[in-house]
Structure 1
Amino acid sequence: MKMKQSTNAVLLLLFIVCLIIYIVIFASAFTDLPMNIPPWHQLLLLTFHFFPMLFLELLLCQNAKLKWRLLIPMLSLLAVGVWFLSFAGWELLGWLLFLFWCIAPLLGSLVACGIWAIAKRLRYCS
């Protein structure tokens, strides 16, 4: 049980640190509009949120039932999406940008589920 608690603490810490880093990346990209950020910053803006979602999903896989493992990531993306689309005026371009932005966190969730399934299988086999 102690191992599970330390794993939870590490995953939570990694999630919080990555989330703070992504918030800084996001905020610094939108401080000056129109956006005039270098390509490396654009890449970080579109891909770095893979990591907070990965650690969140690993934490959920270890501690939550299937329903919550699916709902919490979806609801967090939905909340950000509604906020973004309300500012974008619900236009088609806003929807496309939102869907493109969702690729990284969805991949993070899928990779975490894959890691969890492999780890569970290895524990079961040994």
Structure 2
Amino acid sequence: MNQGAKVVSESIIGSDFRTVIVGGKSYTVYPPTIHKMSGAISHLSNVQDAESLREVLLSLGNSEAYSKALSWLINGDESLSEELSKGTLDEVVDALDESLSMIDSKVFLKAVSLARNVSLLAAKPRL
């Protein structure tokens, strides 16, 4: 079976997920929908360029943003962010890295860059 057919079949039967552990509790993360990615990206739009996705995530240095972004990827909202913030920074970043590994990192980084550019357009007054 080719890789495309495998991805589609796993998605249909619901076997494409990752389990992440934060603060001693396990969470199941399914491939992010556009809604979940948009929510997560809104908290990660200040990341800087780096060599790897993990370095990009660490460049933000804001554990509250990481917890909110991870909550979006797990639950589709910020309802788990307080609970996730009880985990260590490494746990949360590793969980984000694992969650985002289900999509092409180039797609994610482009989306973050676009979100940052849109926010700059909205925030800068025209002269």
TM-score, normalised with respect to structure 2: 0.31
When Rg is computed on C-alpha atoms for both structures, the one with the higher figure is 1
Task: Report which of the two has the higher share of helix.
Answer: 1
In proportion to residue count, which structure has more strand? 2
